Amino acid sequence: MPLTVRSATGEHRFTVQVAATPEQQERGLMFVRSLGPDEGMIFPYSPAQDVAFWMRNTLIPLDMVFIRADGSIARIVTAKALDETPIPSGEPVAAVLEIRGGRAAELGIREGDVVSWLLPH
């Protein structure tokens, strides 16, 4: 599914998998050995809620991009592979985007930038 982040440095397009079910959200990107520069996974929440993620069985570092209901980025955290320390959203979020670790900084994506995607119905 296509996803776009609009930032001061331009529009950044990603192709993401959707973790729609509780089982998909629990597994996330566990055991994935590589992720392309413009690939990721989106975890949608309706309604928006406080969430926390960890990196159990996640073999690669990831940027976790916490997204508010209005599409703006609330927080970006680069998580270390296999780190089981919970990473909280800090506020209710409508989605979390996971991309390759360090990619948000490479592209100049920051808090306040806007993410857009269309979930299949």
Q: What's the pLDDT tens digit per position in 27-42?
A: 999 999 999 999 999 9
Please report, for the chain, the start and end positions of each structural domain, with discontinuous segments joined by +. Answer: 2-117
Please give the model's pTM, rounded to 2 decimal places: 0.95
Q: How far apart are CA 22 and CA 20, in angstroms?
A: 7
Superfamily of domain 2-117: Protein of unknown function DUF192 (2.60.120.1140)
Omega before 120 cis (within 30°)?
A: no
Which pLDDT does position 7 carry in this prediction? 97
Q: Mean pLDDT of all residues in the chain? A: 96
Residue among 37, 19, 4 nearest 118 (CA): 4
Q: What's the pLDDT tens digit per position in 14-29?
A: 999 999 999 999 999 9
